[in-house]
């Protein structure tokens, strides 16, 4: 079975390094980005196979909400978990409205984060399966016509 590919996006280098180690030990493949711009660049790469993005809300330059908006426009099937130490109810609601899978407070419990990553990956896989089934059905109908 393929490893789940998770992109960690946070401007705090020590946090990214620590989370990369902790999540890597849990059989996830980790891609790192230290800004919203870098995250979008890495997602655009043709061999990018990111399943879930763990995205910090408060970052200089492009913040997490704007990054989320751009990720969902360009990569609608990629699931995004918002993560922040500066949580406000409004930001959480805004993130969810824009299509975030979920919203967690920093520091978050690693088991809780892993459960969310697994749920998000399952949701993405279900969407991909539905699209594949629809395409197969469309091809089958065209051939039968």
β-sheet with 4-9: strand ranges across: 28-33, 4-9, 52-56, 79-84, 102-105
Task: Say what the pLDDT of residue 92 is.
Answer: 76
Percent of residues, the chain, with pLDDT higher than 70: 96
109-130 average pLDDT score = 96
Work out the mean pLDDT of the chain and round it to a whole number.
92
User: Residue written as tokens 């490893």?
Assistant: 3
Q: How confident is the model at residue 124 (pLDDT cuts 50, 70, 90)?
A: very high
> What is the mean pLDDT of the segment spanning 13-35?
95
The pLDDT of residue 1 is above 70 = no
- pLDDT for the residue 86: 67
pLDDT confidence of residue 40: 97
Over the stretch 70-117, which tens digit does the pLDDT of each residue have? 999 999 999 999 987 766 767 877 888 999 999 988 888 999 999 999
Q: Please check the confidence at residue 63 and state whether its pLDDT lies above 90.
A: yes
Distance CA 131, CA 139 (A): 12
Angle between helices 13-24 and 110-144 (to 10 degrees): 70
């Amino acid at each position: 079975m393929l490893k789940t590919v998770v992109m960690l996006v946070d401007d705090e280098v020590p946090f990214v390094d620590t989370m990369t180690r902790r999540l890597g030990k849990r059989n996830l493949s980790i891609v790192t980005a230290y800004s919203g711009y870098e995250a979008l660049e890495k997602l655009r790469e043709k061999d990018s196979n990111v399943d879930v993005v763990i995205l910090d809300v408060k970052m200089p330059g492009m913040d997490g909400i704007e990054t989320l908006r751009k990720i969902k426009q360009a990569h609608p099937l990629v699931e995004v978990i918002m993560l922040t130490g500066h949580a406000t109810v409004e930001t959480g609601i805004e993130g969810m409205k824009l299509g975030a899978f979920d919203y967690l407070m920093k520091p978050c419990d690693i088991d809780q984060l892993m459960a969310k990553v697994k749920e998000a990956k399952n949701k993405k896989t279900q969407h991909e399966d539905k699209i594949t089934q629809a395409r197969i059905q469309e091809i089958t109908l065209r051939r039968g016509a």
